[in-house]
Amino acid sequence: MSGKSVSDIRDLTPGDISSFLLINNEKPFRARQVFEWLWKKQCASFDEMTDIPKSCRELLKSNFTFHKAIITKTQESKDGTVKTGLTLHDDSFVEGVLIPSGGRYTACVSSQVGCPLGCVFCATGKLGFKRNLSAGEIFDQAACLNKLAFEKTNSPAGLSNIVYMGMGEPLLNYENVKRSVEMITSADGMGMSSQRITISSLGIPKMIRQMADDELKCHFALSLHAAGDDKRNRLVPFNLKHPLEELLTALKYYHKRTGKRFTIEYILFKDINDSISDARELAAFCKNFPVKVNLLEYNEIEGTLVFKSKPERLQAFAGFLESKNMVVNIRKSRGRDIDAACGQLAGKNITLL
């Protein structure tokens, strides 16, 4: 391969890099050096590859480029949550979030610029969709937030967890998300355990089955928000194309294929999906497989006609599920004051570094 058809070198596998270098009469061990610089050392230019001869660096520079995502903006919440704005090579913009909890830090990363699904309660969905992120751009977010976590703790701890819950639908960018997970967990990358990574999806039936077939080791979380089609159609327009029966079949397949318990994420909206009847419907849905349920407070955004459920309704909802011996957690919002909470990422109210 000449490399001319590939602009971003991080789109290449180790075998691709090795083949390119061999064709161009470079020594075989250079491929390992290059790959290590790209992922483990996370360099941002070929000139940083200081143990590689200049002639080889010039060869790479003339055939490839880096599409690095770089933090250019940041904002910190009263609760310690940090929202980062990352500028991409084409001047697109995405946001990532660093969430503190008892000395531990979770990174929330984006998978797309904008989102094509248009959920009525989500600020990101109102942006529309521009493009998918590359595996390297997703990796960059995790790496940048990991570095920020190091700086916050002043220790080698770094990130405790990574969640694909930022801008975009991860399973609509599956191959790049999968590749980014591989590099985050690889010893040649960040070396993080796959058990510390969660992919959160609105529920793309075909890709849920694909994820099971690929035996992706990370955790899976489903953003459900309603266990009946009428209400889910109202909240999640994508459900009109792939109703709950289709999603249910895919989830059963996922559990049968992997044997893994997954998480149901459920945002409560005032007078829409927060009644005991809704809780009963959710409990019936969850009988089909072992799950845990995360109940989330809604983070209200401008221009929507849905509102946050009252605290007593949330508690009653949780209590009903617990009475059915279900594992239930109530997740408190973090970073709401800087629009960094779930569903609020839309590239606004963020200050320059």
pLDDT digits (tens, 9 = 90+) for 154-190: 666 789 999 999 999 999 999 999 999 999 999 999 9
Q: Rounded mean pLDDT of 327-345? A: 63
Give the pLDDT score at 338: 45
Amino acid at 4: K
Using CA atoms, how far residue 136 sits from 21, 42, 65, 231, in Å, is 21, 10, 12, 37
Among all residues, which ones are annotated catalytic? 95, 342
pTM (two decimals):
0.91
Question: Which residue segments constitute the domains of the chain, with CATH numbers given?
Answer: 9-63 (1.10.150.530), 70-352 (3.20.20.70)
The runs of H, that is alpha helices, within 68-173 are 135-153
Residues composing the chain: 353
Closest C-alpha among 93, 103, 228 to residue 166: 93
Give the pLDDT score at 91: 93
Residue 111 structure tokens: 């998978």
Across 4-8, 283-287, 343-347, least confident range: 343-347
Q: Determine which helix (DSSP H) or strand (DSSP E) holds 104, and give its type and residue range.
A: strand 104-108
CB 294 within 8 A of CB 331: yes
Q: State what percent of residues in the chain have pLDDT above 90.
A: 77
Q: Mean pLDDT over all residues of the chain? A: 90
Give pLDDT tens digits for 279-323. Answer: 999 999 999 999 999 999 998 887 778 899 999 999 999 999 999
Residue 107 structure tokens: 């990174």
Integer Cα distance of 208 and 201 in angstroms: 9
